[in-house]
Chain A
Amino acid sequence: MDKKMKPKSSEKNNLSRRTFLKCTGTIVFALGSGCYLESGRRSKGNGLKMAVSDGYLLVDIGKCQGCISCMLACSLVHEGVQNPSLSRIQILQNSFEKFPDDLTIEQCRQCEKPACVEACPEDALAANVEFGNVRMVDKEKCTGCGSCFEACPYTPARLTVMEDEAFNRELKSRKCDLCASAPYHWHKKGGGPDGKQACVEVCPVGAIVFTRKLPVQDGDQGYKVNLRDENWEKLGYPAPKA
């Protein structure tokens, strides 16, 4: 990839103009109030402690076939439309690159200490107890300020901030909720850690799996795993190098 996953720089991100303006306005207000960002838990910068999520998505970037079916399934069950920009999981690829650097999958990590939750000035982001402490956006509270997007330490940010037709086209943040709050979910049990995740179910090659075990938080190794087994090798794919 052109840019490996790395901690986000302090550079202004490519938010839409409206998002950026709104975000800027929020910061000005916060600074003007003289308290919000400089007081309480959000100012510590050590990461917010909260109950860990009961579920995580793990991916194998060497097995993925790049069909982006996961992205299409994600936007479909959450938004009722087909739009990769609205997907909570992102496949990035470059068809001229060498395998395996031609493709990566970037999914929300449901961080143990989620910077996005910590950054939200409206308490719109929180561990949802009803759904196994998955880090979820409460769109009723979300003002679309983009603080969560800015705060996400990963590239690309694992959240999107876009207009939401269900909220009169106001800007709203979205992030992976393991399909807990997916209005178009197909399964009677729904999603979340105890249900079905659309990306996992739809992936044709099993390159995305769900786990309840907290992955190693440092680096990528806990989240980007090897899911290529002997059946994959039977298709003639050379075994991954150690």
Chain B
Amino acid sequence: MNGYAGKILYINLNTRSITTIPTKKYEQWVGGHGMGSALFFDLVKDKTIDGFNPENAVTLMSSPLCGTLVPSGAARTEIQGIGVQSLPIGWFTRSNFGGRFSAMLKYAGWDGIAIQGQADSQVWIDIRNDDVKIRECAPLNLWGTDTWECQKVIWKEVAGDGVYGDWIKANEKGYMTTQRPAVLAIGPAGENLSRMACLIHDAGNGAGQGGFGAVFGKKGLKAVSVIGTGSIRVNDPKALIEARLWQKKHYAFDLNNLKLKTFSLGFQGPPIPLTLYRQGRPQVGQRPQACVGCHSGCRGRYEDGIGNEATCFTSVFYYFGKTLLIQRQAADLLNRYGLNAAEMFVGELYLRSLRDNGIIGKGKEIDCPLDFKQYGELAYAEQLVKAIAYRNDGKGNPHSFGDILAEGFVRAAEKWGRLDGKRSDLKTGRLKFPSWGLPKHKLERSQLDWGYGTIFGDRDINEHCFDMLRAFPTYYKRYNIQIPPAEQVVKIITDKMEPFQGDMKMLDFSTENMYSKHMIKLVTWHRYYTRFWKQSAQLCDFRWPDFLNLYALDKVGATGIAEPRFFNAVTGKNFTYLDGINLGKKIWNLDNAIWSLQGRHRDMVRFADYIYTQPGATPSGYPEYMPGIRKGKWDYVVTSGRHFDREKFEDFKTRFYQFQEWDPKTGYPTRKTLESLDIGHVADELEERGKLGRAMA
């Protein structure tokens, strides 16, 4: 099994048993998400349980590519299980983080970890090659530490008599290494079961969505540490390094001939820290910092050590922090206390709106201990973070405010009575949580692939495959950045969208095309591609796919050719690009079956009310542009300022289900569809639970 370690670690915290599952048993799913979904399906007999139930299984999966020289494909870890963040049901969901963890896991000899049960005391998992132990937190005083302190304590513990900076022994039988253990930890937010608690690895790799920090906390699991010194076999070593150098020569950035100087997204993006601090990029000494094997780092480490590895939502969390320094310090607070940056960012703006309208404050409609006089100062952000992480007033005193908010902003708004009646904050759009009680990310009424993908799935998809279609033209209009014509861009991309290639109208984002059969194909392709190539093979979302590439011949990126070239060099599976898309379809269907077993029905699949009534607007107020057909010609057209139509969306939903060959009346999968994908056993369980869809006429 080239590319694999060959075994999956199974830990049951109820019994504190440590056993092994042969990876071979799940090899048909390749790795990552596919393997995680299949494991979850087998391990969790009752899919209707709550995420806090001890029987909930959490999987941490690598892929055959992890730890190898595949560019931006060697470092992701896929985490799955029943989440505790979404509404009305905590869906079986996923999160994902980069760094060193999955690579180190494989060097230690493991393709993944499945954790079930609940420990009767607070523990951490210590993996040193084949030596795996469930260890108590108490001797190291780990419980109560923030995510950074926790990691440092474990590093020291694992080093023993060794000193980092020199070779150390991973364990008695293992080789030596100069590397520190890769540790995944929860902070106080996870310990106190905040539904927006995340997992942090190193300074800033976060698995934010799903509330898995709280799931860990409920299991009594503070951290998982892994150090490994073994080898990953590669099918064709020469082919792998040839592929890597081919990619570098033809598709990666060239420092002597930069095509992009400001973006850090996209395959050819130069290594610029992706910081969104309101007051710009830190002007201190810094380096780009990359995950294992990445050709183009996307975050930084800084001369003052502040904001190390913070990126994207984390760096924008305290948008109204008065200074750049304060914004960066606030980002560190999120990482240390272990809170989901997306929910904290959108939620903080919600609190600001309530404050501006005199609704929240001491003695106001919503009693709130936050010191708004400190707004913009670090003290305000710190109090807010601590209030949620410790479920108190943010200063160590009991208070219902933090306790309520730790449940998430939508649950808090409901508790405060803000979701009642015609002026509900989800009707007016004051509370920008458009899908599944989760925070807004992209403008779903504009970037339709994002909006539809999220509502037909389980979480904010956070998949940037087509984001350049918004970013390039939108910034082109504002900053006069030269970009290729819309028609050329659309052709390059749709030519790569097997098996629907050539249908250019898939990328027509004009209002007239919002509910078309072409849009259904776009959403479908996106689900399939990402479920396999991104979330199972684990190519990084920030760098793949490589559609449009300014360095490549005729600007045609490497996607379609590169994925199987790298995959086969590592595994020797003779896998095609389309094989991956088709496996993505199978995984997508398995996921939908699990959601159906959890209780999903098509009637639940709807956006928050404001999405149907309020025009979508960007935070900056500038219009948003995407490709579309206007007066019979391709152009970049304005896609902000519009909203979904309820009836048209319901009709779109029906046709989307029909296209998936699911029951359009319920959204349940059908036996015929599942058997055609060779997962008939899933149909059996659905039938047993009364969730099997009726075959279409």
Residues of chain A whose beta carbon lies under 8 Å from any beta carbon of chain B: 1-4, 13-17, 62-69, 72-73, 75-77, 79-86, 90, 92, 94-100, 102-103, 106, 155-157, 160, 162-163, 184-186, 198, 201-202, 204-206, 231-232, 234-238, 240-241
Say whether B67 faces chain A, with CB atoms less than 8 Å apart.
yes
Tell me how far the C-beta of B258 lies from the nearest C-beta in chain A, rounded to whole angstroms. 6
A-contacting residues, B156-193, CB 8 Å: 161-169, 172, 174-180
Return the chain B residue nearest A161 by Cβ. Answer: B176
- Say whether A96 contacts B152, CB under 8 Å: yes
Q: A13–B281 Cα gap in the complex (Å)?
A: 43
- Say whether B302 contacts A98, CB under 8 Å: yes
| Given known A90-B178, A238-B283, contact A82–B164 (CB-CB < 8 A) | no
User: Which of A17, A160, A235 is in CB contact (< 8 Å) with B261?
Assistant: A235
- Say whether A95 contacts B309, CB under 8 Å: yes
Q: A172–B332 Cα gap in the complex (Å)?
A: 44
- Say whether A82 contacts B172, CB under 8 Å: no
Tell me how far the C-beta of A140 lies from the nearest C-beta in chain B, rounded to whole angstroms. 22
- Say whether B287 contacts A2, CB under 8 Å: no
Q: A103–B300 Cα gap in the complex (Å)?
A: 12
Q: A67–B293 Cα gap in the complex (Å)?
A: 5
User: Which of B164, B169, B237, B293 is in CB contact (< 8 Å) with A2?
Assistant: B164
Tell me how far the C-beta of B229 lies from the nearest C-beta in chain A, rounded to whole angstroms. 4
Tell me how far the C-beta of A83 lies from the nearest C-beta in chain B, rounded to whole angstroms. 4
Say whether B411 faces chain A, with CB atoms less than 8 Å apart.
no
When distances are taken between beta carbons in the complex, the residues of chain B under 8 Å from A15 are 176
- Say whether B166 contacts A156, CB under 8 Å: yes
Say whether B242 faces chain A, with CB atoms less than 8 Å apart.
yes
- Say whether A85 contacts B69, CB under 8 Å: no
Q: A3–B164 Cα gap in the complex (Å)?
A: 7
Q: A96–B288 Cα gap in the complex (Å)?
A: 14
- Say whether A79 contacts B231, CB under 8 Å: yes
- Say whether B293 contacts A69, CB under 8 Å: yes
Say whether B697 faces chain A, with CB atoms less than 8 Å apart.
no
- Say whether A80 contacts B287, CB under 8 Å: no
Interface majority SS on A: helix, strand, loop or mixed? loop
When distances are taken between beta carbons in the complex, the residues of chain A under 8 Å from B291 are 67
Say whether B294 faces chain A, with CB atoms less than 8 Å apart.
yes
Q: Show 5 residue pairs from A and B whose CB-CB distance is below 8 angstroms, ordered by the A residue.
A: A15-B176, A67-B291, A81-B234, A95-B308, A204-B252
- Say whether A103 contacts B287, CB under 8 Å: yes
Tell me how far the C-beta of B154 lies from the nearest C-beta in chain A, rounded to whole angstroms. 13
Q: A206–B281 Cα gap in the complex (Å)?
A: 23
Tell me how far the C-beta of A198 lies from the nearest C-beta in chain B, rounded to whole angstroms. 7
- Say whether B297 contacts A13, CB under 8 Å: no
Known pairs A80-B233, A82-B69, A92-B178 / 11 extra A-B pairs, C-beta < 8 Å: A3-B163, A14-B161, A16-B169, A65-B289, A76-B69, A80-B237, A82-B231, A83-B229, A96-B148, A160-B167, A205-B255
Q: A204–B268 Cα gap in the complex (Å)?
A: 11
Return the chain B residue nearest A104 by Cβ. Answer: B165
Give the residue among A16, A67, A79, A97 with the most B Cβ atoms within 10 A.
A67
Say whether B421 faces chain A, with CB atoms less than 8 Å apart.
no
Tell me how far the C-beta of B683 lies from the nearest C-beta in chain A, rounded to whole angstroms. 39
Tell me how far the C-beta of A3 lies from the nearest C-beta in chain B, rounded to whole angstroms. 3
When distances are taken between beta carbons in the complex, the residues of chain B under 8 Å from A76 are 69, 234, 237, 240-241
When distances are taken between beta carbons in the complex, the residues of chain B under 8 Å from A186 are 238, 241-242, 245
The count of A-to-B residue pairs whose CB atoms sit within 8 angstroms is 207
- Say whether A184 contacts B176, CB under 8 Å: no
| Given known A73-B244, A95-B301, contact A65–B288 (CB-CB < 8 A) | yes
| Given known A69-B295, A76-B237, contact A231–B255 (CB-CB < 8 A) | yes
Return the chain B residue nearest A64 by Cβ. Answer: B287
Tell me how far the C-beta of B538 lies from the nearest C-beta in chain A, rounded to whole angstroms. 15
- Say whether A1 contacts B301, CB under 8 Å: no
Say whether B553 faces chain A, with CB atoms less than 8 Å apart.
no
When distances are taken between beta carbons in the complex, the residues of chain B under 8 Å from A163 are 175
Give the residue among B231, B240, B242, B248 with the most A Cβ atoms within 10 A.
B231
- Say whether A235 contacts B172, CB under 8 Å: no
When distances are taken between beta carbons in the complex, the residues of chain A under 8 Å from B167 are 13-14, 156-157, 160
Q: A186–B296 Cα gap in the complex (Å)?
A: 22
- Say whether A14 contacts B168, CB under 8 Å: yes
Say whether B203 faces chain A, with CB atoms less than 8 Å apart.
yes
Say whether B86 faces chain A, with CB atoms less than 8 Å apart.
no
Say whether B514 faces chain A, with CB atoms less than 8 Å apart.
no
- Say whether B301 contacts A202, CB under 8 Å: no
Q: A232–B261 Cα gap in the complex (Å)?
A: 11
Q: A236–B148 Cα gap in the complex (Å)?
A: 28
- Say whether B287 contacts A100, CB under 8 Å: yes
- Say whether B69 contacts A4, CB under 8 Å: no
- Say whether B237 contacts A160, CB under 8 Å: no
Return the chain B residue nearest A77 by Cβ. Answer: B241
Return the chain A residue nearest B303 by Cβ. Answer: A99
When distances are taken between beta carbons in the complex, the residues of chain B under 8 Å from A85 are 107, 175-177, 229
When distances are taken between beta carbons in the complex, the residues of chain B under 8 Å from A64 are 287
Q: A125–B255 Cα gap in the complex (Å)?
A: 38
- Say whether A84 contacts B69, CB under 8 Å: no
User: Which of A63, A83, A99, A100 is in CB contact (< 8 Å) with B107?
Assistant: A83
When distances are taken between beta carbons in the complex, the residues of chain B under 8 Å from A80 are 233-234, 237
- Say whether A198 contacts B241, CB under 8 Å: yes
When distances are taken between beta carbons in the complex, the residues of chain B under 8 Å from A156 are 165-167, 178
| Given known A14-B168, A72-B68, A232-B255, contact A238–B162 (CB-CB < 8 A) | no
- Say whether A98 contacts B255, CB under 8 Å: no
| Given known A69-B69, A160-B176, contact A81–B231 (CB-CB < 8 A) | yes
User: Which of B177, B238, B256, B286 is in CB contact (< 8 Å) with A237?
Assistant: B286
Q: A63–B301 Cα gap in the complex (Å)?
A: 11
| Given known A68-B292, A186-B241, contact A100–B285 (CB-CB < 8 A) | yes
Q: A109–B580 Cα gap in the complex (Å)?
A: 44
User: Which of A2, A72, A185 is in CB contact (< 8 Å) with B69?
Assistant: A72
When distances are taken between beta carbons in the complex, the residues of chain B under 8 Å from A16 are 169, 174-176
- Say whether A98 contacts B303, CB under 8 Å: yes
Q: A186–B238 Cα gap in the complex (Å)?
A: 5
Q: A163–B152 Cα gap in the complex (Å)?
A: 31
- Say whether A96 contacts B231, CB under 8 Å: no
When distances are taken between beta carbons in the complex, the residues of chain B under 8 Å from A160 are 167, 175-176
Say whether B6 faces chain A, with CB atoms less than 8 Å apart.
no
When distances are taken between beta carbons in the complex, the residues of chain B under 8 Å from A65 are 271, 287-290, 294, 297
Say whether B616 faces chain A, with CB atoms less than 8 Å apart.
no
- Say whether A162 contacts B175, CB under 8 Å: yes
Say whether B134 faces chain A, with CB atoms less than 8 Å apart.
no
Tell me how far the C-beta of A2 lies from the nearest C-beta in chain B, rounded to whole angstroms. 4
- Say whether B255 contacts A82, CB under 8 Å: no
- Say whether A81 contacts B233, CB under 8 Å: yes
Say whether B647 faces chain A, with CB atoms less than 8 Å apart.
no
- Say whether A204 contacts B295, CB under 8 Å: yes
- Say whether A202 contacts B241, CB under 8 Å: yes
- Say whether A202 contacts B244, CB under 8 Å: yes
Return the chain B residue nearest A198 by Cβ. Answer: B241
When distances are taken between beta carbons in the complex, the residues of chain B under 8 Å from A63 are 287
